[in-house]
Amino acid sequence: MRARVVRVALVATAVALLLLAVPLAVAVRITFFADENGELERAATATVVRVGPDFAAGDPVELPGGRDEMQRGIYDATGRLRSGVGPASGGDAVRQALSGRVARKQTGGELVVVVPVSSGERVIGAVRASTSARTVWSRVWWGWAALLGLCLLALGAAVIVARRQASVLSSPLEALARTSLAIADGDLHARADPSTIAEIDEVARAHNAMVERLARLLERQRHFTANASHQLRTPLTGLQLGLEAALADPDADARAALAEAAEKTRHLDHTIDEVLRLATSDASTWVSAPAQEVGELLEAAERRWHGVLARDGRRLTVFWEPESEKLPVPGHTTDQILDVLLDNAHRHGGGSVTVTLRDLGTALAVDVADEGTAALESRVIFERGMGAGSGIGLALARELAGAVGARLALAGTAPTRFTLLLPLDAGR
């Protein structure tokens, strides 16, 4: 690109200099010849004043001094040279002057100016001044050489300026290209830096915005895989254990086992929907799942987790006020958050687990507490990759809560207690 910018600048400069230099060159030639004609006419006129009225009677005339290369001659009324230097017969220029007009000619390699000499109302002679045209052309060539030198100097300055501007224009684009290559190699944190050129900055901003969107999309895809694996592992394990237990017990109620398996399968389906929705939506496009009564969600969570905790000798207790159980909340989303919190209490907590529903007027508070101690501070416990486990569950729960306008916080560390705040209009 640099060579292209320099080439365009040089072509534009050359055209501009050509359009300027050709008329100037013509003007230099015309001016130098006009100046020389004027000098010859002044010299001839200075000689005319020395010619007295008795010139026609043969009175001699003394010629004034002048430039060495200039020749002057005085002619009588018949056109014969009487004094000075010049052709014996003045020719057309002298004849024209004898008729009463100043004559200017270029003939025989000379510039000639002839001025008539008058006495009273009568032309009595003519003064001829001449110089070699070669002398004038020498000055013209020197003028053209100076003009050419100025053009070359301007062209050299244009090359320097063009190279500088080419560097200024191409450097941001080269940096943008390097950033694009870095992104293509997998560095999604690379960003184009601003420059001093508004148009290139606009391209850089669009490029950065595109990379931001791609990075968010890829991050969502990675999170989807991790979230799906995390959320499906425990329900699938429970479904498998339930079916194996029914198969191992010849006296088991097959219908009850199938009904329980069907409920767990529906829950798995809802889990996949919520994780997929989180991966493909953002805050501006998120559409909440249908609202459900909070009492139904707590009862379903108790059914899913009572047996899991009981197998480890731990107790699960759920409390809520009867007047609050009919309030609507985002159904499947709240269900998933409760699963994460109960799974966290099961894996990393200790003792009994308590779920408490509180009506705060404008919001519902769901507390999930156990008798263990939180190992991390509240500012890092919801970050992905933190903690003794996979570091996915609590991060996912907070993302799900934020998607429906709810808040999830660590309310206590000894014992551990998480609080989910659900606005009452979040599920309507």
pLDDT score of 289: 64
Q: Which of 54-58, 196-200, 309-313 has the lowest mean pLDDT?
A: 54-58
* Higher pLDDT, residue 61 or 359: 359
**Sign of torsion, CA 365 366 371 374?**
negative
The rounded Cα 195 to chain-centroid distance in angstroms is 8
What residue spans in the chain does CATH classification 3.30.450.20 cover? Answer: 2-55+66-150
What residue spans in the chain does CATH classification 3.30.565.10 cover? Answer: 283-423
As a whole number, mean pLDDT of residues 75-96 equals 86
**366: Cβ contacts below 8 Å, ≥ 6 apart:** 294, 298, 334, 338, 355, 356, 357, 358, 419, 420, 422
- Rank 20-34, 52-66, 186-200, 387-401 by mean pLDDT and report only the highest: 20-34
Q: Centre a 10 Å sphere on the Cβ of residue 100 and count the other Cβ atoms it contains.
A: 11
pLDDT score of 34: 92
Angle at 52 between CA 51 and CA 53, to 5 degrees: 130
For the chain, percent of residues with pLDDT exceeding 90: 19
Task: Report the predicted TM-score, pTM, of the whole model to 2 decimal places.
Answer: 0.49
On average, the pLDDT of the chain sits at 82
Residues 283-423: name the CATH superfamily.
Histidine kinase-like ATPase, C-terminal domain (3.30.565.10)
pLDDT score of 230: 58
* Higher pLDDT, residue 68 or 207: 207
Strands 316-319 and 353-359, sheet pairing = parallel
pLDDT score of 166: 83
Whole-angstrom distance, CA of residue 178 vs CA of residue 150: 41
pLDDT score of 428: 42
pLDDT score of 89: 81
pLDDT score of 226: 61
Query: Which amino acid belongs to residue 41?
Result: E
As a whole number, mean pLDDT of residues 52-76 equals 75
Asked if 292 and 329 count as a contact pair (C-beta separation under 8 A), the reply is: yes
* Higher pLDDT, residue 145 or 336: 145
**pLDDT over 70 (residue 138):** yes
- Rank 167-171, 267-271, 350-354 by mean pLDDT and report only the highest: 350-354
Per-residue pLDDT band at 426 (split at 50, 70, 90)? very low
pLDDT score of 231: 61
* Higher pLDDT, residue 18 or 387: 18
Q: Centre a 10 Å sphere on the Cβ of residue 305 and count the other Cβ atoms it contains.
A: 24
pLDDT score of 332: 79
* Higher pLDDT, residue 318 or 82: 318
pLDDT score of 348: 84
pLDDT score of 317: 93
* Higher pLDDT, residue 198 or 420: 420
As a whole number, mean pLDDT of residues 6-30 equals 90
Asked if 114 and 103 count as a contact pair (C-beta separation under 8 A), the reply is: yes
Q: What is the 3-state secondary structure (H, E, C) of 207-256?
A: HHHHHHHHHHHHHHHHHHHHHHHHHHHHHHHHHHHHHHHHHHCCCCCHHH
Per-residue pLDDT band at 31 (split at 50, 70, 90)? very high
Q: Which of 384, 403, 377 is nearest to 227 (CA)?
A: 384
As a whole number, mean pLDDT of residues 187-209 equals 85
* Higher pLDDT, residue 226 or 12: 12
CATH assignment, 2-55+66-150: 3.30.450.20
Asked if 113 and 102 count as a contact pair (C-beta separation under 8 A), the reply is: yes
As a whole number, mean pLDDT of residues 374-388 equals 70
**pLDDT over 50 (residue 250):** yes
* Per-residue CA distances from 269 to 231, 235, 244, 370 (Å): 11, 11, 21, 28
Residue 298 in 3-state DSSP?
A: helix
**pLDDT over 80 (residue 194):** yes
Whole-angstrom distance, CA of residue 319 vs CA of residue 107: 125
As a whole number, mean pLDDT of residues 289-296 equals 82
Whole-angstrom distance, CA of residue 148 vs CA of residue 142: 10
Per-residue pLDDT band at 414 (split at 50, 70, 90)? confident
pLDDT score of 27: 94
Complete edge-to-edge strand list for the sheet that includes strand 416-423: 316-319, 353-359, 363-369, 416-423, 407-413
pLDDT score of 427: 44
